[in-house]
A and B are shown apart, each in its own frame.
Chain A
Amino acid sequence: MASKKTPEINGGSMADIAFLVLVFFLMVSTMDQEQGLSRRLPPLPAEDQKAEDQKVNRRNIILVKINSNDRLLAGNEPMDVSQLKDKIIEFLTNPTDDPNLPEKEMKDIEGFGQCSVSKGVISLQNDRGTSYRKYLEVQNELVKAINILRDQFAMQNYGKKFARLDEEKQDIVKKAIPSNISEAEPKDVKKK
């Protein structure tokens, strides 16, 4: 019997099929990356733990308040968002050892040694009427200040930017410059 060749499958429509699948994936998928400001909320205080917050020394805390008109008050003086970053940096570094700015504490950091760590805490308060845009702008400014300090620290000690360090060193830098941003219980900041 003569061997009969199977006819070749026509591949001409393969491209059409592939396009169809491609279009399907384009429709159902998103490309937008999930990005934003990562935060950790404080756990709810237990009933018997209330008195503890007051222990933080007055000089160690900076109040950043945003009222319902999106006006900013940082450390009892009204200011623009653009000034906030420098204010926070000054607050956290306390270059002149001002008794009104936070105290520093010598801490032994594993893998680094002695290091003076600022005890400063940034307390962020907002009104219910504050707009989210302003709130995030302020948050962003706070994170920026801390990032700048971390970069400085990393540059001084390792000669690299914070983001380029390996994980171990990043942990050291994080311990040396902690990001103590406390998002307080919502309070109504009075209009002024």
Chain B
Amino acid sequence: MAKFIKKGKGGTPPINTASLPDIVFMILMFFMVSTSMRQTDRLVQLTMPQASEIAKLERKDLSSYIFVGTPTSQYQAKFGTESRIQLNDSFRTIDDIRDFVAAERENLSEAERPYMTVSIKADQDTRMGIISDIKQELRRCSALKIMYGARKAAK
């Protein structure tokens, strides 16, 4: 019965981890392709309203963002709980939109400027007054392509 004598010590052989880096790199590549870099830190709390007829923004690089909402808790002491406008990384007022749009437009090449989209991301409990002001200001600096940010809702 020598045939059945165990050779050496038993136990499962170690799993070969040589391909682990490849797998991880694959996941990494997936994330790099499917995500985009976070552009700004949000200083406002916002839950976007739901809508069912939404369209995707085609060119992310051609868009600039205006956030509207109540400041997050750490800024509430300084800026209050009223809805505020956030442009880039700071709280701004309506009057700053003109400069903001001009600066954003400057960043784009001549050919792409007509396609610039301003994406308004506002909290669902914002009053329309502030949004109307933004819209009027955008019309004044002729940034006419806008997008109201919304979440996908079930139909």
Contact = CB atoms under 8 A, between A and B. Distances in A.
B119 A36 contact: yes
Interface string B108-141: 0000000001010111111111011001101110
Interface residues of B, number: 55
Majority secondary structure of chain A interface residues (helix, strand, loop or mixed) = mixed
Interface residues on chain A, size class: 35 or more
Interface in A14-46: 14-15, 17-19, 21-22, 25-26, 28-31, 33-44
Given A11-B21, A34-B119, A37-B148, A136 B129 contact: no
A39 to B, nearest CB: 5
B102 interface: no
Interface string B45-70: 00011011111110010010000100
Interface stretch (A53-61, A114-122, A124-132, A169-177): A124-132
Contacts of B126: 131-132
B136 A186 contact: yes
B127 A28 contact: no
A18 B21 CA distance: 6
A36 B55 contact: yes
B52 A39 contact: no
Nearest to A143: B53
Nearest to B142: A43
B36 interface: yes
Nearest to A14: B21
Nearest to B128: A130
A38 to B, nearest CB: 5
Most buried by A among B37, B55, B125: B55
Contacts of B27: 22
A42 B139 contact: yes
Contact of A30 (B18, B28, B38, B139): B38
B130 to A, nearest CB: 8
B94 interface: no
Contact of B56 (A35, A139, A183): A35
A36 B148 CA distance: 5
6 contacts: A11-B21, A37-B51, A127-B128, A128-B127, A132-B128, A183-B135
